Amino acid sequence: MLIFRLLHIVFVAVKFILGSALRGLHLLPSTPPSAERFRLGLEALGTTFIKFGQALSIRRDVLPDEYVAALQKLQDHVSAFPTSVAVQEVERGLGRPVATLFAEFGETPLAAASVAQVHDARLPDGRSVIVKIRRPGLDRQIDQDMRSLLWLVRVATVIVPLLRHYQPLRIVREIWGNLKKEIDFRREARNIKCFVTAFSEWPTLEIPDVIDDLVCETVIVQERSNGLRIDDPSLRSDGPRLAGAFVDAYLHQIFVLGVFHGDPHPGNLFITEDGRICLHDFGIVGFLDRAMRRKLAAFAMAFVRQDADWLLEAAIDLGILGGDLDRSEFRRGLVEIISDYAALPLKDWSLAEAFLRVTRLGQAQNVFVPLDLLILMRAMFLAEHTVRVLDPDFRLLESLQTKAPGVLETAMKQADWTSTINRLRLDAAAAARDLPSMLSTWVGQLVEEGSGLGLSLHVRELKGLHETLDRSSNRLVLGLIAAGLFVSGSLLMEAGGPHIFGDIPVFAALAFALGLWFTLRLMRAIARSGKL
């Protein structure tokens, strides 16, 4: 079974690659475009690769825009599994018969996707709920398919070494790990609880809560909430108010909570009858620690104020620019980005697009953008689209400039200064306790060595110089040994003693063989480093 699945994956991959090559040589029609054929190939491979493509669509830092757009259209073309199987999964996961768990359980699924399907139900106390049930065997299928994909990627990097620049193995492993997290409904339940607690007092937001004792890895039961999709035309008159409330909620998530809903597309956003925004589906959630939130705020304010120098420093602090930087070159790139936006009306400014453009400036340095920043970038693109659906004239950057200082002040007030001070006291006490012992050891070394005070100097720019010198000297020695062996072999050709292959002295052959072995080792080391 495994070999047939692997052959199917290989067939689809080879078909896409050969098709692209033949279209490049104009031997096949150019339609459909490569990005669309890539999407169709993933859909043909089923659940795992559909989810893989959806996860890959956040990699705007390495994928062209047309591929991102195609992958975002991936659809879960799957039929619902039988209700009898759904009942078995619920009873296996929650450990009780469905008849005792629910007063009613819907026979017909409300929705079916590649990961799970949803049934409506009613609890014994009368509350309406939805029951989300994971597809049987999904975890095993994901593991099997991702192992096959890793094998194919390894082969591809050997055939096309240029691919290593984009760290494809790391990307595949990262997506695999996040797919495993996404299909664990216990994790989603924890995310929901976090948001329910954080927004319990907000009059403009509603988060349907989880039923505490009805959650396991494969099943989650949640309060049911009804409403209109956020892109419903009937909501247009209330659009400006909803857009403002939506922006407020996301500023609070990103800069105060440090936890944000990573998939705010219209299918996950509803407007309740009383005018509140209802968030659904917390399978994709991003996390930002306090330091990252502070750096992100600096980036946003630098962009709003059109300050290229500040924007450069903020991008370096965030880790989206790095390596051996030519600061003047990057500054020119940032000035160009800023100039492009200066020519646009304020309502057309996009922080998400600016963030993406700055990220792509760092591609030459092979900078690997942290996953949570990629999720944030995706969330910002979706959130900006949602805001423009609600109110096409909403000035997002102007709102950010007005509200961000207050949000950041709230975040600073919520900092746990007591914990910080207690930690500082503990560290100071430990240092004071160890100081006499450290001084005694130091003085003893001075008396013993009798050579005065020693000074240890660390220079950041020389980091790794010691290892580099070691490698260079080793290669030099290896080269000298190889050269000496070849010279010795030439001299031993005239020596007597036993011969092999008719007229080659054994000792000369041995010297040549050792010289060749050392030479091959030296060439292999140079090839691996990529530098002479």
**pLDDT exceeds 70 at position 413:** no
Of 102-111, 348-357, 472-481, minimum mean pLDDT range: 472-481
Strands 277-279 vs 205-206: parallel, antiparallel or unpaired: parallel
Q: How many CA atoms lie within 13 A of 319 on its CB side?
A: 10
The answer to whether residues 5 and 145 touch, using CB atoms and an 8 Å cutoff, is yes
Structure-block tokens of residue 143? 């593991």
- Burial (CB < 10 A; 0-12, 13-18, 19+), residue 137, is exposed
Tell me: the pLDDT tens digits for 49-88?
Answer: 888 887 777 777 667 888 888 887 776 666 788 999 999 9
* Spatial distance between the Cα atoms of 305 and 514, rounded to a whole number of angstroms: 66
Give strand pairing partners of 112. Answer: 117
CA distances from 417 to 414, 420, 423 (A): 8, 5, 10
Q: Which residue has the higher pLDDT, 210 or 310?
A: 210
CA distances from 406 to 99, 251, 366, 381, 417 (A): 51, 10, 36, 23, 19
Mean pLDDT of 342-363: 75
Q: Which residue has the higher pLDDT, 458 or 139?
A: 139
What is the per-residue pLDDT for 69? Answer: 83
**pLDDT exceeds 50 at position 133:** yes
What is the per-residue pLDDT for 417? Answer: 47
What is the per-residue pLDDT for 472? Answer: 63
What is the per-residue pLDDT for 104? Answer: 93
Residues shown for the chain: 532
The reply to whether omega before 32 is within 30° of 0 (cis) is yes
Task: Quickly list DSSP for 216-264.
Answer: -SSEEEEE----EETT-GGGGGGHHHHHHHHHHHHHIIIIIISEEES--
- Burial (CB < 10 A; 0-12, 13-18, 19+), residue 58, is buried
Extended strands (E) in 72-209: 104-105, 111-112, 116-122, 128-134, 205-206
User: Quick one: pLDDT band at residue 210, thresholds 50, 70, 90?
Assistant: very high
* Spatial distance between the Cα atoms of 249 and 198, rounded to a whole number of angstroms: 10
What is the per-residue pLDDT for 296? Answer: 84
Q: At 4, phi and psi to the nearest 5?
A: -65, -40
**pLDDT exceeds 90 at position 328:** no
Tell me: the pLDDT tens digits for 423-474?
Answer: 555 655 665 666 666 666 766 666 665 555 554 545 544 455 555 555 666 6
* Spatial distance between the Cα atoms of 258 and 290, rounded to a whole number of angstroms: 7
Of 97-106, 348-357, 416-425, minimum mean pLDDT range: 416-425
Extended strands (E) in 404-511: 499-500, 504-505
Structure-block tokens of residue 352? 């998400």
User: Quick one: pLDDT band at residue 89, thresholds 50, 70, 90?
Assistant: very high
Tell me: the pLDDT tens digits for 1-45?
Answer: 567 777 788 888 878 887 777 777 777 777 778 888 888 888 888
Structure-block tokens of residue 453? 């005070």
Tell me: the pLDDT tens digits for 364-411?
Answer: 555 567 778 888 888 888 888 888 888 888 877 677 667 666 665 655
Give strand pairing partners of 130. Answer: 120, 222
Report percent pLDDT > 90 for the chain: 15
Mean pLDDT of 293-314: 83
Q: Sign of the CA dihedral 513, 518, 519, 525? A: positive
Instruction: Assign 452 to helix, strand or coil.
Output: coil
Q: How many CA atoms lie within 13 A of 368 on its CB side?
A: 10
**pLDDT exceeds 90 at position 511:** no
User: Quick one: pLDDT band at residue 211, thresholds 50, 70, 90?
Assistant: very high
